[in-house]
Amino acid sequence: MDDKKMIELALEARENAYVPYSKFKVGAVVLTKDGRIFTGCNIESASFTPTICAERTALSKAISEGYRNIDTIVVVGSLEKISFPCGVCRQFIREFGKNIRIISATSTENYEVYTIEDLLPKSFGPEDLEHGNI
């Protein structure tokens, strides 16, 4: 799928955000390697800890449907300044690969493309666990 179309979908998902406290809407799109699309938005809670970011919402939807081969994640937060995944989201995304593309955008005309490895260098992932010692 075209990057600009995915940004449009993230902008649409952003409108569903539940953000009564921060008022900071975020929309996300996950594209799997076989072309499936999953959208998500951030969902806040009065007890801030259970709040879930848009990226983890979309990725959780993909994973819960059996899709683990992730190609691209699009993030749209502020419409004025490009927003990036938070640290928790970066680690969550990294679980599913080092080369997942991350598109951070404010619009279809203003966006930047990275890999999760760019945003979380020297990361810890599944391959770092010593499975024989568990």
Predicted confidence (pLDDT) at residue 6 exceeds the cutoff of 70: yes
The Cα–Cα gap between 79 and 101 comes to 20
Predicted confidence (pLDDT) at residue 28 exceeds the cutoff of 60: yes
Model pTM score: 0.92
55 tagged catalytic: yes
The Cα–Cα gap between 90 and 11 comes to 20
CATH (one of 2.60.120.380, 3.30.2310.20, 3.40.50.1820, 3.40.140.10) for 3-120: 3.40.140.10
pLDDT for 62-99, tens place per residue? Answer: 999 999 999 999 999 999 999 999 999 999 999 999 99
Catalytic residue of the set 8, 12, 44, 55: 55
